[in-house]
Structure 1
Amino acid sequence: MNGITLDLEERAKVTLGVKPGCSGHCTSYGMYCANGGKCVEKYNGYSCDCSKTAYDGPFCIKDVGAFFEEGMWLRYNFHSPGTSMKDLVSRTLLSSTDPEITATNHNLNKEELSFSFSTTKSPCVLLYISSYTQDFMAVLVKPSGNLQIRYSLGGTKEPYNIDVDHRNMANGQPHTVNITRNERDIILQIDHYPPATYNLPAASDIQFNSPKALFLGKVIGLFAQEQQLSSAANQ
C-alpha cells in the first residue's frame, strides 16, 4: 500500500478484538436461502441472491412463476453482449415477424437449466431453445406423461433423446428439472431422485451454435425444426 508491503496476518495477531477462525454469517444462516438461492456475505449480515432461481424475496421463497392456459407461451430473445438496449428492444419487437434478425456469434459448449412446473396436459412442450442454425434443445412431456429431453447440435441425422419413463410428470404435482451439459456429458436430475448421467453420441457436435430464443410453453413454427418438434410432440 503506497509502496509499502504490509504484513496483515502479523498485524491481525497483535490487534485487539481480531482473532482467526471467523466463519461468516453464511455458515450459520446460508440454509435460509431457499430454492437454490446463493448466500452473500455482507459486513453486518447476509443476503440471498435469487437471480438464478425462479423465486424472489429476502429468502428466495416467493414464487415468481406464471400460469399458462392452453395455447399460451412466452418467448425470451437472446442477444450478444455488445447489443445496445435500443437494439435489444427493436429485436424483441420484430422477432415475431422478422426471422432474419442478425445472428449472435455466441456458441455454447455447456449450459445449465433449472426450472419447476406442474401440468395435467400431455403431450406438451415445456421448454424449447431455438438457434440461428439447425441446433435446438427441448424438454417435452410425451403423450404417456413421461418427460423427454431432446438435443440436436448437428452431426447426427436425428436428435438425441433422453426418455424419463419412471413416472408420470403430467399428474398436476410440482416437479423440478435440472439439466447440466458440459460438451458431451449431460447430468439430469428430476425432483428428489438421484442425478442420472447421459452422453451425446460420438458423432454429435458439442457446441450449441448461435442460440436465438427460449420458449416456455407452445412452440411457434418459425423454423422447420420447430414444426417437426411440435408435430412429434403431438404424435
Structure 2
Amino acid sequence: MTSKDLNGSLLTTIENKIATLEFEHPASNSFPSELLDRLTVELNSLSNNNLVSIIVLKSSGFGAFCAGASFEELKAISTLEQATKFFSGFANVLNAMRNCSKLIVGRIHGKAVGGGVGIAAACDYALATSESAIKLSELTIGIGPFVIEPAVSRKIGKSAMTEIALAAHEWKTATWANQKGLYAKIYETHEELDQEIIVFANKLASYNPEALVEMKKVFWEGTQNWDTLLHERAEISGKLILSDFSKTALAQFKK
C-alpha cells in the first residue's frame, strides 16, 4: 500500500511475515499532521493483519531519520484546538506503536530530532548507524518534549531524559544513545545496518507468533495510562506553541 502527496508518503510492503513500513517527507522526513494520521491508521491495520509477525519501521533516503514535527505546520497553527490536535497526532502514533500486537524493529539510519526521537524510543528494538545522533530541541522553540517524554524516559531513564531535554541545543551521539538504551546496536554503514535488520527481523519472524504477542504485552506493562497521559501532554504543548515566545522563536528559525 502506498499513499503520497505534498504531505509526504507512506509505503508498506509485506514479505515472509515481515511488514516494512517506510515514511517519507521532503523536509528531512518531518511529520505534518496528515502523515501522522496515516501512520497511526497503518500501524493499527498491521496490528490486526494475520500475515504479519514483525514490523520494520524506517524512513527514506540517506539523510535524517526524522526531523520531528513539521515546522511549516507549527507556524500555521493559530488556535488551541489546532495546536492540541497537531500534538495529539504524535500521541496517537506512540499509542498505536505501544498497542500494536506486532513487535516493531526500528531502522534509525540518521539523525533524529524531537518527535523522531520519540518514535525511535517507541520501537521495541532499534538498530542505528553511527550517524544517528539525537536531539530534543523543543525548549528552544518555547515548548518541551512533553508528548514523547514517557516513551523516551521508558527507554533511557529519567536522568538521561533530563540531560537531553535541558541541553536542548546539543546533539547526543549515537554512541550515547546506545549506552543509554535507546539503540540496541549501532553500525558504521547503512549497508551493515540493513543486513542486520534483515537477519534480525527474519529470526524474529521464525518464532512462535503467539509468544511474540505475549512478549510485546510484557514489554509495555504499566503504560496503560498513556491513552490519557499523552493527550494531556499534547494540550500542554498546544498551549505553549501559541505563546509569544514560541511565535518569535519559530519566526527566527524561518530566517
Relative to the length of structure 2, the TM-score reads 0.28
Structure whose residues are more often strand by fraction: 1
Give the TM-score taking structure 1 as reference length. 0.29
Rg (Cα) greater in structure: 1
